[in-house]
Structure 1
Amino acid sequence: MANRVSVFAPAKINLVLKIIDRREDGYHELYTIFQKITFGDRLIISFREKGLSLEVKGENVPLGLENLCIKAAHLFVQKTDLNFGLHIELQKNVPPGSGLGGGSSDAAAVLRVLNEKFKSFSESELIALAKELGADVPFFVSSFSTALARGIGEKLSFWPTFPAWYVILVPKVEISTKWAYENLRLTIPQLPPNYDANQPLWEQGLVNDFQELIFEHYPQLKGLKDKLLSLGAKAALLSGSGGALFGVFREEAQAVKAANAFLKDNLKKVEVATNYYEKTSKEG
């Protein structure tokens, strides 16, 4: 591997997000179906003899040990005892607090580049390592485009990918995942849903258990969802714990036309994306 690597870190949407139960360790048991998309961040990772530094362009994110990229690099060093330096240039396009998994994907990109260079872990071992950084990181470390995730998000299994285009809307609100989980009204354990893997999820009904709570506190987000549906989306849903929403369209032209209808709505981001496949992940 070259000493300077450019890597794309795709965002994700949750096509389904069910909170099954609270666990004794404070985490929640999930049933979620993740989808990687072609909207995301870009990292340029340069290897050097010593030192670890991060430069960010775009969205404001922490630069120190709070940043998941830095945490990922430290974790890799801790687990391998390897001695190397790293400079990370992060072009941050995915807003934090949007439910699109930007920080988790950035951390996964760092882990994957380091592992590709040093050949320290198998994919399953790297997924186990990624769990230490957060519930979404294992999915981004995996080679799945679409995946069913159980446990806290680390138990991954294949789910088929169906062709679709998405309009991604990011309003000017940041929603704390911690706050969302603390305020979720979960009284009794739920049964996992029974989806048919042979047909698109949006034809079966997309579900997000956070949506009612988030719409209650941010009613403008429900207005965005309703507008997506009125513009022809096959389905529309909150992603993760919010505040981003997405609409599902069959054709790119339909998605572009719908996205244009939001350009004057004073949103942080309006993006058109499709499914992301691993073969296009790296350049140069």
Structure 2
Amino acid sequence: MNHVLYSPAKLNLTLRIGARRADGLHDLSSVFLRLPSVEALTITMDSENNVKDLLSVQTIELKGINLVTRASERLRALGWPLPFLRVSLWKQLPPGTGFGAGSGNGAAFLRWASALLGRSLPLELARELGADVPFLVSGLPLAFACGVGERLEGLKALNLSALLLVPRWSSPTARAFADLDRRREERGSSVSDPLFFRIEAETLVDDLRRGATVGLLPNDFTDLLAERHPEYGLFFAMAEKAGALAWGISGSGSGAFALAQGPTALLKLVASVSAEPWVTHLLVLE
């Protein structure tokens, strides 16, 4: 029997990064927006295999260990009687784009394994797998997150359409955080009060909820990425001209996005940006 799981992704409508902690991680303040299912996993119990899970990936090449494999290995290490599996993963969004598609794969798997075995969702494992996973495993449509992504406060859903843009370059998370730390050290920059981040986030969500144009959304990685790739500025200008409400970079990049009330403005934006040679994927979600 095949089990088909639909896997979500996310946008960071805001992303503020705190100072580096003693454990090497960073506290964050962010508004997470859940995206509709963009990828899918097909899981089959493998009665002939008692060695390891077998994972195949369709459409996009992945390097390293996918979060589905990491999640299954950790669950078994925790004593969960999970059989070995054959997993086929159909992907639309490459890694290193900040849309959390890999985290969505892991979150979908954790929810499935919990239901299969009748056990509570392993929230500590979700946090261990990555900052996006606790939100994606929660099922919340919109949330304010702090800590390292594990402290969530659910917010009322936003009824917005989104355009996701994947450029030809990626932005590995570890490198992005190291670059941000280095820049702050060189400039002697301080980190703002978390209360400011919360007020900023609440104001932006309220503005978007009433259909106001808010423009470029705050993300501490935007300046670094825009300096290396001026193409972001071109996309943001196109988004404004097309009539989008908001635009920005998700996570630590490299993916950019625009938001609008309904798809009309976004389809106009697609027509403008699709011919750009630096764009590899465009995806409109409602």
Contact 1:19 1:30 in 2 (8 A): yes
Q: Is the 8 A contact 1:221 1:243 kept in 2?
A: no
- 1:264 matches 2:275: yes
Gaps of 5+ in 2: none
2:208 maps to which of 200, 205, 221 = 200
Residues 99-135 of structure 1: CA distance to partner in whole angstroms, max 9, x if unpaired? 11111111111111111100122x4xx2222111111
Q: Within the alignment, does 1:12 sit opposite 2:10 as a pair?
A: yes
Q: Corresponding residue for 1:173?
A: 169
Q: Aligned with 1:77: secondary structure? A: helix
Question: 1:144 aligned to 133, 140, 143, which one?
Answer: 140
Aligned with 1:29 (options 27, 30, 35)? 27
Q: Using a 3 Å threshold, how does the CA distance of structure 1 residues 164 and 83 change in structure 2: closer, same or farther?
A: closer
User: Cα distance, 1:39 vs. partner?
Assistant: 5.6
Tell me whether 1:73 sits opposite 2:88 in the alignment. no
Write the deviation string for residues 201-232 of structure 1: whole angstroms up to 9, x where unpaired. Answer: 77566211100011011111222122111211
CA distance in 2, matches of 1:127, 1:143: 13
Structure 1, residues 218-271: CA drift from partner, whole Å, max 9, x if none? Answer: 111222122111211111101111111111111222222222222211311111
Give the letter aligned to residue 223 of structure 2: E
Partner residue in 2 for 1:61: 62
Residues 18 and 27 of structure 2 are in contact (CA less than 8 Å); yes or no, is this contact kept in structure 1? Answer: yes
Distance (whole Å) between structure 2 residues aligned to residue 83 and residue 145 of structure 1: 29
How far residue 161 of structure 1 moved from its aligned partner, in angstroms, is 1.5
Q: Name the CA distance, whole Å, in 2 between partners of 1:79 and 1:204.
A: 45
Counterpart residue type for residue 249 of structure 1: A
Q: Aligned residue pairs: how many?
A: 267
Structure with bigger helix share is 2
Report deviation, 1:20. 2.4
Question: Is the Cα–Cα contact under 8 Å of residues 39 and 101 in structure 2 kept in the other structure?
Answer: yes
Equivalent pair of 2:250/2:257 in contact (CA under 8 Å): yes
Q: How far apart, in 1, do the equivalents of 2:20 and 2:190 lie?
A: 9
Q: Take 1:24 and 1:45, find their aligned partners in 2: how far apart are those partners?
A: 39
Structure 1 residues 199 and 233: CA distance shift in structure 2, 3 A: closer
CA deviation after TM superposition for structure 1 residue 6, in Å:
0.8
Indicate the residue corresponding to 2:233 in structure 1.
Answer: 222
- Greater shift in the superposed pair: 206-215 or 223-232: 223-232
Spell out the pairing of 1:109-258 with structure 2 (5 A cutoff).
109-121=108-120, 123=121, 126-184=122-180, 185-186=183-184, 187-192=189-194, 193=197, 194=199, 195-196=202-203, 198-200=206-208, 206-258=217-269
- DSSP-derived class of the 1:257 partner: helix
Q: Which amino acid aligns with 1:117?
A: L
Taking the aligned partners of 1:262 and 1:54, their CA distance within structure 2 comes to 34
| Equivalent residue number for residue 108 of structure 1 | 107
| Mapped pair 1:98 → 2:97 | yes
- Tell me how far apart the structure 2 counterparts of residues 235 and 200 of structure 1 sit (CA, whole Å): 8
Distance 1:141 1:179, change over 3 A: same
Listed as ranges, the gaps of 5+ residues in structure 1 are 275-284
Give the aligned residue type for 2:79. Answer: T
Give me the whole-angstrom Cα distance separating, in 2, the residues matched to 1:198 and 1:236.
16
Q: TM-score, normalised by structure 1?
A: 0.88
- Partner Cα separation in structure 2 for residue 47 and residue 157 of structure 1: 36
Is 1:11–1:94's contact at 8 Å kept on the other side of the alignment? Answer: no
Report SS of the residue matched to 1:208: coil
Structure 2 equivalent of residue 282 of structure 1 = none
Q: TM-score, normalising length from structure 2?
A: 0.88
1:104–1:136 contact (8 Å) kept in structure 2? yes
Q: Which amino acid aligns with 2:273?
A: F
- Mapped to 2, the partners of 1:249 and 1:130 lie a distance apart of 31
| TM superposition shift of 1:38 | 2.3
